[in-house]
Structure 1
Amino acid sequence: MSPAVAVFLLLMCSALPLDVQSHDSQLRDHSNEDVPEEMEAEGTAKIPVVCTVCKRIMESVQKKLSNDASKAEIIEKLHSVCQKLGPLKSACKNVVNKYLNKLAAELASHDDARTACVKLKLCKPKDFWEEA
């Protein structure tokens, strides 16, 4: 390993604890009203569960919609989507109830599920080193 690579790795590793600490403090600063209680499992981060639920909602509804779906049709599909999500049903209902109009607007925009959920701040954007 070249000395330049070794120095780079040491610098990157020393910066990681600072980033993790700031991320932890940001999670503590958010109020619990943004995430339903069912999604707050002991020892797990809140965002991944909400993100998973959001993506499943968006993907399920997108499959059922025509390209020229009306807002009423989109909202109807959003109200019925949670019945088919099994163990995520309760969390799904909470997300749909809280973000109904925003979810409908994103579905009308034809963004992919991940992009829509990031725009709604229910998923974190991928870092540049993560796979697409």
Structure 2
Amino acid sequence: MLRSIILITLLISSVCALHWEMHKEESNGNEIEEGSGDIQTEQLPGMCWACKWAMKKLKRRLSNGATAEEIKKKLSMVCDEIGFLKSLCRKFVNKYMDTLVEELSTTDDARTICANIGICKKKAWRN
């Protein structure tokens, strides 16, 4: 019972924090639509995670020789499965549709795809 209460409390506080961040972004101007570059998109809370989540799902579902139309169709459906980030995911997919189709046609992994379009920070190469 105590464990359930703790989990529910954590879930509620996470949702509230995300809602507050999204509300703060809206009051400052929605940067995913109006931003002049990819750097601002990277700063949106949860975008890197959401991008990697969606790209991993899509990479698993796409065959090696998938056409651009097949990729677009799957891209438009993937956001339905993400839960409360659905609207943010759809804006992201619509904004980067052509780039995502190109990136998903490569052998790059989800993290690389999201870094290439500027949603996630690129990892420094270590020697």
**Is residue 53 of structure 1 aligned with residue 50 of structure 2?**
yes
Q: 1:66 aligns with which of 63, 67, 85?
A: 63
Q: Considering only aligned residues, what root-mean-square deviation do their CA atoms show, in Å? A: 2.5
Gaps of 5+ in 2: 1-27, 34-41
Q: Which runs of 5+ in 1 are unaligned?
A: 1-30, 37-44
Please report how far the alpha carbon of residue 128 of structure 1 lies from its aligned counterpart in structure 2 after TM superposition: 5.5
In 2, are the aligned partners of 1:102 and 1:120 still within 8 Å (CA)?
A: yes
Deviation at 1:63, TM superposition (A): 1.2
- TM-score, normalising length from structure 1? 0.61
Question: CA deviation digits over 1:58-112, x for unaligned, max 9?
Answer: 1111111111100100000000000111122111101001000111110001210
**1:52: how far off?**
1.1
Aligned residues with identical type, % of pairs: 40
Q: 1 or 2 for the larger relative contact order (CA 8 Å, sep ≥6)?
A: 2
- Alignment coverage as a number of residue pairs: 92
What secondary structure sits across from 1:35 in the alignment?
A: helix
